[in-house]
A = this chain, B = another copy of it.
Amino acid sequence: MSKHQLRRLSDAGLVAEAPIASIAMKTSILALAALSLPVAAFAQVPGGGVYKYPAQQMADGAHKGDTIAWDFVEGITTEVGPRQAGTEAEKRGRDWAVNWLKEQGFKNVADEPFMMNTWVPGEVHKAEIISPFPQPLVVQPLGGTPSTGPEGITAEVVEFGSLAALNEAPEGSLKGKIAYVTHAMTPSQDGSHYGYFGGARFVGPGLASQKGAMAIVIKSIGTDQHRNPHTGVIRFPEGVTPIPAGALTLPDAANLERMFDRAEGPVTMKLTLTPEWIGETQSGNVVGEIVGKDPSLPPVLLACHIDSWWNGTGAFDDGAGCGIISAAALHVSHYGQPLRTIRVLMAGAEEVGLHGSVAYSKAHIDEPIAVAYESDFGADRIWRFESNFRETNPELHAKLAASVARFGVANSRIVATGGADINIARDQKTAIIDLQQDGTRYFDLHHTPDDTLDKIDIDQLRQNVAVWTQVTAIVANEPGSIKGE
């Protein structure tokens, strides 16, 4: 590896404190990260191996043979299945998780209720091309959008090659029309395409309404080639009339685009989507604890979400995440009581607008937490470690990064901002860690009927549990401030 190559890695935030000089070509990035390891006690372990930290023993065990995370995600997807926020299905999911956490030995297990305005997808989801090439297309409603009524809406479809093109349409130009917006999303390891191309969903429906459209269909925000619509929440801006909005599968979107290429006149669609807002219902946040030796110290918070979209079984999103965080907490506890309490938060109603995260922060804002981190990006391997205390507590940051290097996790200079369910950490301005998972195939499955147990690779799931166990063992036994401020 040349100095130039190293500098580029360093500039990219991938090698934080690695010395540049006198490194043999074969030295890996992981080995470089290890150079910044503090000297630590060595412990003999069963089988004759040597561990630098007790935490390594737990993590390596989890890496080889964790069954806890799989048990959670297999159990909840089989015995409950889809868990649409605010519905009785989500309630069954929370009940299931409460029972499971108690059975596993968690303490202070509770379902902390909150009220929410609840949307359900309804029964009829149809998009039919009426002319010039009559055929059915596969569609599902986007979360929070209104119904077309059971009689449907029949109108000309106007094609936009991007969100930017829709944005340029003159005001009123879509009156009486259905807008169609496409995008060019491709798979990305860090999932950044979702933020960039997802605007067709996040913003497209509101924009189309502002231009006068009576409805909108989008190419699903996803990267697969199956007949799976990718749903997901949208919110119409204040003062903008909500319009029915649906996601076509990627093959159907491609077909529609070919129709635009071939049609000599307008393309007309009948769209029938019958979602409903059913008023205020109860959701809740499921919590449980591994109680620490010193309850006066702020706890560490491990988060996921318990709800899922109706169309899959919530395996990748986010049954796996709840399994991973619970398994990590348990592995740490199985090796002895940690110094700090480890709290797991399985937030309710994340998908439809982070209701659980908001409610949790509101309810617990006056109870300081030490550090928070979340698993909500599928079940594929963790590849990058980030914190928001690399500058304020460099020794701990380096220790944590080094501790997970052997699982193929790189250090990073990116400042962690946390996931959807740890609003409380942002509100309290406390320490945050991001254990970034490989998102290459995440958007093949995200918010689709295909989010089912069979998509989970148990070896990668175990790598997640191992990394989480390693990190949790360190922070839960850290006596000083994690943030270091």
Q: Hey, which bits of chain A sit against chain B, CB under 8 A?
A: 74-75, 77-82, 89, 92, 129, 132-136, 138, 225-228, 250-252, 254-255, 258-259, 262, 312-313, 448-450, 452-455
Nearest 6 interchain pairs by C-beta: A81-B135, A227-B449, A251-B452, A78-B258, A79-B133, A225-B454
Assembled-state Cα–Cα distance A313/B252 (Å):
10
Q: A228-B226, A228-B227 are in contact. Are A255 and B452 (CB under 8 A)?
A: yes
Assembled-state Cα–Cα distance A452/B252 (Å):
9
25 contacts between A and B (CB under 8 A): A74-B258, A78-B258, A78-B259, A78-B262, A79-B132, A79-B133, A79-B262, A81-B133, A81-B136, A81-B255, A82-B135, A82-B136, A89-B134, A135-B313, A225-B452, A225-B455, A226-B226, A226-B228, A227-B228, A251-B450, A251-B453, A251-B454, A252-B452, A254-B453, A254-B454
A220 to B: closest C-beta gap in Å: 13
Assembled-state Cα–Cα distance A226/B255 (Å):
20
Assembled-state Cα–Cα distance A80/B134 (Å):
7
User: What is the total number of copies of this protein in its complex?
Assistant: 2
A452 neighbours in B (Cβ, 8 Å): 225, 227, 251-252, 254-255
Of the residues B77, B134, B258, contact of A255 by C-beta under 8 Å: B77
Assembled-state Cα–Cα distance A77/B250 (Å):
15
Assembled-state Cα–Cα distance A478/B74 (Å):
62
A166 to B: closest C-beta gap in Å: 23
Q: Are A80 and B133 in contact (CB-based, < 8 A)? A: yes
A105 to B: closest C-beta gap in Å: 21
A251 neighbours in B (Cβ, 8 Å): 450, 452-454
A266 to B: closest C-beta gap in Å: 15
A312 neighbours in B (Cβ, 8 Å): 227
A262 neighbours in B (Cβ, 8 Å): 75, 78-79
A79 neighbours in B (Cβ, 8 Å): 132-133, 259, 262
Assembled-state Cα–Cα distance A202/B262 (Å):
40
The listed residue with most B CB atoms (<10 A of its CB), out of A77, A82, A450, A452, is A452
Assembled-state Cα–Cα distance A450/B448 (Å):
14
Assembled-state Cα–Cα distance A307/B75 (Å):
42
Assembled-state Cα–Cα distance A79/B258 (Å):
9
A89 neighbours in B (Cβ, 8 Å): 134-135
Q: A226-B450, A449-B138 are in contact. Are A313 and B255 (CB under 8 A)?
A: yes
Assembled-state Cα–Cα distance A319/B89 (Å):
42
Q: Are A133 and B227 in contact (CB-based, < 8 A)? A: no
A313 neighbours in B (Cβ, 8 Å): 135, 255
A252 neighbours in B (Cβ, 8 Å): 452
A445 to B: closest C-beta gap in Å: 10
A65 to B: closest C-beta gap in Å: 21
Q: Are A135 and B80 in contact (CB-based, < 8 A)? A: yes
A82 neighbours in B (Cβ, 8 Å): 135-136
Whose C-beta in chain B lies nearest to the C-beta of A74? Answer: B258
Q: Are B136 and A255 in contact (CB-based, < 8 A)? A: no
Assembled-state Cα–Cα distance A262/B74 (Å):
11
Assembled-state Cα–Cα distance A132/B92 (Å):
12
A205 to B: closest C-beta gap in Å: 25
A259 neighbours in B (Cβ, 8 Å): 78-79
Whose C-beta in chain B lies nearest to the C-beta of A251? Answer: B452
Assembled-state Cα–Cα distance A313/B259 (Å):
14
8 further A-B contacts with Cβ under 8 Å, apart from A225-B452, A227-B312, A250-B454, are A74-B258, A81-B134, A138-B449, A226-B228, A227-B449, A252-B452, A254-B454, A255-B313
Assembled-state Cα–Cα distance A81/B78 (Å):
35
Of the residues B77, B136, B227, B255, contact of A450 by C-beta under 8 Å: B227
